[in-house]
Chain A
């Protein structure tokens, strides 16, 4: 029961909901960058939301299945081929032993997800199957897939497959090159000048190609900081602070030039001022952005952030009902 990896793709990793509870020790939560898309794939193949999937970045793998398997591909738009024939995304697909799965050129976004009935069955490490390549843990030997890997497929639950065979169009995520990302200011927005804060929230920031599971870097006009005497223990640049913990989704602006959004594999602390934090409901949206995406940051309140989270939870409850 395995997927035989003929070609690994650019950076295909095993991911799940993440490794929660170790961030305070410096271990990031990890997990599928676009949790919503990954959950839709699991939904279609009769898994729970917790089963591990394959996260494909730009270039997907070429796989031959050594077992009959029920799969679904969700996330970024891409042509999916089984034995050279095109098959739909966001629908359940039945593979038989020996079938070959491969992908065309990605048409938007950054990542797509392959779920299989029974889940990707690599060993759990600290409660998660997610691959954290820098820490060399989780997934297949703690790394991205290589040609020749045999990726184990788990045994599905007894209650089989859901009635739902395809995700409705209105429930599929959108992959736009022009997005508005909701943030909460802080923890260090007070280090920006009034003009600097205005620039952060009213400028167009363009996602650069320097974007991965750790962080995404944006180009734009840069921001101005308040003049201050740097405290003992902070670096000399006004973007520096005395080291502090980084919230997931923090935006830091080293040197005041290019904002970086810290994502699921980011470090847990450091010495750059976090001027704002992407709300949890918009982290998937950030993960879907391809280089060149025009991005605006809009500040919301805690109440608005929680309302957005509740909307996502309600949507998930409907899809999983």
Chain B
């Protein structure tokens, strides 16, 4: 069963917790419900984007430093 991870926010999507750090998760990795997969920056605040279900992160639909809008699919898990 595939699940979409949706951004509730507009802003800039980051796959890493900070410059020079490793990405939170890579495509093909196993993720668990509640696990952080990236950040969205808006209004100088960084909000964590989390997986809602256990599974495998199949693909990112937004690239690192990409612009997101509310409702956009950030990643797909299965």
Contact = CB atoms under 8 A, between A and B. Distances in A.
Interface of A: 10-11, 57-59, 105-107, 209, 211-212, 290-292
Contacts of A105: 6, 8, 70-71
B76 interface: no
A109 to B, nearest CB: 10
Contact of A292 (B41, B47, B69): B69
Contacts of A212: 43-44
Contact of B67 (A10, A57, A107, A291): A291
Contacts of A290: 10, 69-70
Nearest to B71: A105
Interface in B37-62: 41-45, 47
A58 B67 contact: no
Nearest to B43: A212
B22 to A, nearest CB: 25
Nearest to A110: B10
Given A105-B71, A106-B70, A290-B69, A59 B9 contact: yes
15 contacts: A10-B9, A10-B43, A58-B9, A58-B10, A105-B8, A105-B70, A106-B8, A209-B12, A209-B41, A211-B43, A212-B44, A290-B10, A291-B42, A291-B67, A292-B10
Contacts of B45: 10-11
Interface residues of B, number: 16
Contacts of B69: 290-292
Contacts, number: 44
Interface string B1-31: 0000010111110000000000000000000
A57 B43 contact: yes
A131 B71 CA distance: 29
Given A105-B8, A290-B10, A209 B47 contact: no
A58 B47 CA distance: 12
Given A105-B6, A105-B70, A291 B11 contact: yes
Given A10-B47, A106-B70, A107-B70, A58 B41 contact: no
B10 A291 contact: yes
A161 B6 CA distance: 39
A291 B47 CA distance: 17
A10 B42 contact: yes
Given A209-B12, A292-B67, 6 more contacts: A10-B9, A58-B9, A209-B10, A212-B44, A290-B10, A290-B70
A92 B20 CA distance: 50
Contacts of B67: 209, 291-292
Nearest to B12: A209
